[in-house]
Chain A
């Protein structure tokens, strides 16, 4: 078989295999071909701070669980110097940090990733005896006030839920008047929710506290919000004790339902827990797979999803490289753009993905121009080539450090990603361009430099396209089709676009 026929056959096999597998996954396994709907994913960070007093320390934190409206995708704990353990109780998960001895300000982090999901209310268990809070000891005056409030609420209501609402309203009115017979102890301030709980337990309505956080993008140092949940013989109802309103507030993530306090500390003082949030919109498919328990097909099982999450991120990038290579082949074979170094534009495009396009182009141009200038000086010093390239490399690294520091001071954080520029390749490119300058003139340097930049930008645009990213990541078999296409292009013997101009004078 002639080589040409082999190429066509191989290309046909690759392309049909790639497209066939893709269609199979799409039609039979329901992998969507488009990125589809986005789901909001929150990165929540809980920061526990306290003052340690040179005693054995036990920090005990309630942990959230997947719930009706939100799904916990991932959680991480950062606690250097602390022993760490998670206890799974009947109802609650709690994390315990322990340490024999420590002093001064201590900070512990707990981070989790949660995604909103469709609300399908799960039936919750009826209250058990141990969920009722301990009764606080009140003065006789306080007890009689409480009894009055309960009696009033009872006359104004018909069932447990309306009773709870009325009671909370009355409590709010009562507490807003700063009277001497307040239910709250002025020295030991109890939260509105806890007060409500005390009243409800005296009225023999089953209830507990629900702690959680109101999610909002880029909010820092938020405190936990306390709500009250009551049981009316059939269902649990959530009531906001401050507003005395029913139901969960919008974007509310329940951290802890019932149980003890959110945070318990032994061996320290002034413990605080604060929450920060960042929102991201991610494709629903990825989230579904992040949480998929068991893959139902060999194609999924033998897939990138089976890798650990951080390795997946690496592959996500690697799988885009063939797309960049395809762009390079298209530009060289069909258009005829000259670049400096065949696949250098792909590496540059990958660096652009970290720095964003405009900063990347600016930085690269600056680095190459300064590099060429320094190289032109070095060429006068009669250095050996290896030392000269190494010298250019070091200068490139130093320039990167200087740019990074300056940009950090100016608050341009994305410039810090410039370390993703392939330094060695850059040093070689500078050397190559500088020889081209000497041998073929500045015009050729401009042609090659701009050519490389153009190809890099187009490769960047192709590689950052959400659809392309989705397809290469979820359908890696499409790379076979890309391979087939590249094989076909390797046999293309037609004119390049620039030859229409180049040979113009030959035919006139």
Chain B
């Protein structure tokens, strides 16, 4: 039975965690490039330096003394997001979507006072959400208002698009839709829906929640099969640029669609997960090897995207 399963996974070209770590992350991602993507503040600055769109930064709180400036920073903000610079896997993100004077509301309707927010920020500073408990800084950003087209595929939170980029070529993508189960977070562990996307068109391949295939969003009841991401080529270009400014060979780029500003780079991940294979129903290995076997180096972003769009569509199977 084990041999049969092993064979099946091998033939489907499914990439395992060990192989991802040994053959891709440690081989194509240089250690010195990790700090840039592990710190969201650095990522944001680097992206801005090459004119890539990111959510607007309202302020940074980097020491307990600066906590005093928090009320001034939030002075007339009706909505904002607070996140730790070093939070891994979307940990420690606080979204405030509405405000009435000194009362702040999360998208779920939960109420927070200024003091509670101050405490939350001080927790971030002491490193509760960072790997190994290292001291951290807190970023305050504008709240991204989701594109209406995608709004119906999510409950409370904002859906984001994860694109795996290998040596600058976007090779696989998925949409992560928050559900009531996942508490408005695009966290697949907690029950967000992963929707595999066709890399050529940005249309849905299949949708998976908790490792099970589903056809409709559990909260909104909208069918995933009709889903198509607007401006798909623009998204792939952003993802391709991520490779250029981070210098990572194997990365996951998280993009959100803003109602007004269009696609924005949320963060870059040097160790992207493998759930994307389940959501897409395709293994990563054949695509990775396809890129590895290319003779020509130093492609322009547009030609890389053309290549990906022509080569990584046929072997996806529609569901």
Contacts and interface: CB of A to CB of B under 8 A. Distances in A.
A336 interface: yes
Interface in A327-349: 333, 336
B189 interface: yes
B169 to A, nearest CB: 21
Contact of B115 (A382, A505, A506): A382
Nearest to A383: B119
A435 B90 CA distance: 13
B40 to A, nearest CB: 16
A441 B18 contact: no
Contacts of A505: 208, 211-213, 278, 281
A495 interface: yes
B18 A493 contact: yes
Nearest to B8: A507
Nearest to A385: B126
A495 B16 contact: yes
Contacts of B123: 384-385
A506 B16 contact: no
Contact of A493 (B23, B187, B189, B211): B23
Contacts of A28: none
Interface in A494-508: 494-496, 499-500, 502-507
A1 interface: no
B189 A495 contact: no
B6 A500 contact: yes
Contacts of B22: 490-493
B19 A503 contact: no
Contacts of B14: 495, 499, 503, 506-507
B58 interface: no
A382 B278 contact: no
A439 interface: yes
A206 to B, nearest CB: 79
21 contacts: A382-B115, A384-B123, A385-B128, A428-B133, A441-B190, A444-B189, A492-B18, A492-B22, A493-B19, A493-B21, A495-B9, A495-B14, A496-B17, A499-B17, A500-B2, A502-B278, A503-B9, A503-B16, A506-B277, A506-B281, A507-B12
B278 A495 contact: no
A385 B84 CA distance: 14
A440 interface: yes
Interface in B281-304: 281-283
Given A494-B18, A503-B9, 18 more contacts: A382-B119, A384-B122, A385-B123, A386-B126, A440-B189, A494-B16, A495-B14, A495-B16, A496-B16, A496-B18, A499-B14, A500-B6, A503-B12, A504-B5, A505-B208, A505-B211, A505-B278, A507-B8
Nearest to A499: B16
A386 B135 CA distance: 11
Interface string B111-140: 000011001001100111100010000000
Interface in B67-107: 91-92
Interface in B44-79: none
Contacts of A385: 123, 126-128, 133
A175 to B, nearest CB: 81
Interface string A84-125: 000000000000000000000000000000000000000000
Give chain B's interface residue range (CB within 8 Å of chain A).
35 or more
Nearest to A428: B133
B116 A382 contact: yes
A336 B17 contact: yes
Contacts of A499: 9, 14, 16-17
Nearest to A500: B5
Contact of B126 (A333, A384, A444): A384
A384 B135 CA distance: 12
Interface of B: 2, 5-6, 8-9, 11-12, 14, 16-19, 21-23, 91-92, 115-116, 119, 122-123, 126-129, 133, 187, 189-190, 208, 211-213, 274, 277-278, 280-283
Closest 8 interchain pairs by CB?
A: A385-B126, A493-B19, A507-B12, A495-B16, A382-B119, A493-B22, A500-B5, A506-B278
Interface of A: 333, 336, 382, 384-386, 428, 431, 435, 439-441, 444, 490-496, 499-500, 502-507
Given A384-B126, A499-B9, A507-B14, A440 B115 contact: no
B159 to A, nearest CB: 19
A440 B88 CA distance: 12
Nearest to A4: B22
Contacts of B11: 507
Contacts of B283: 506-507
A500 B9 contact: yes
A413 to B, nearest CB: 36
B18 A333 contact: yes
A4 B218 CA distance: 47
Contacts of A439: 91-92, 187, 190
Contacts of B18: 333, 492-496
A335 B147 CA distance: 41
Contacts of B8: 507
Contacts of B126: 384-386
A503 B278 contact: yes
A335 B23 CA distance: 19
A385 B133 CA distance: 10
Contacts of A386: 126
Given A499-B9, A503-B278, A505-B213, A493 B119 contact: no
Contacts of A495: 6, 9, 14, 16, 18-19
Contacts of A431: 128
A19 to B, nearest CB: 25
A503 B277 contact: yes
A440 B116 CA distance: 21
Contacts of B208: 505
A387 to B, nearest CB: 9
Contacts of A382: 115-116, 119
A506 B18 CA distance: 18
Nearest to B120: A382
B128 A440 contact: no
Nearest to B213: A505
A428 B211 CA distance: 31
Nearest to A432: B133
Nearest to B2: A500
A505 B210 CA distance: 11
A376 B66 CA distance: 28
B288 to A, nearest CB: 12
Contacts of A500: 2, 5-6, 9
A60 B296 CA distance: 94
Nearest to B21: A493
B299 to A, nearest CB: 26
Q: Give the interface centre of A382, A385, A503, A506 by most chain B CB atoms within 10 Å.
A: A506
Contacts of B122: 384
A258 to B, nearest CB: 70
B186 to A, nearest CB: 13
A435 B129 contact: yes
Nearest to B187: A440
Nearest to B280: A506
A283 to B, nearest CB: 39
Contacts of B129: 435
A503 B211 CA distance: 8
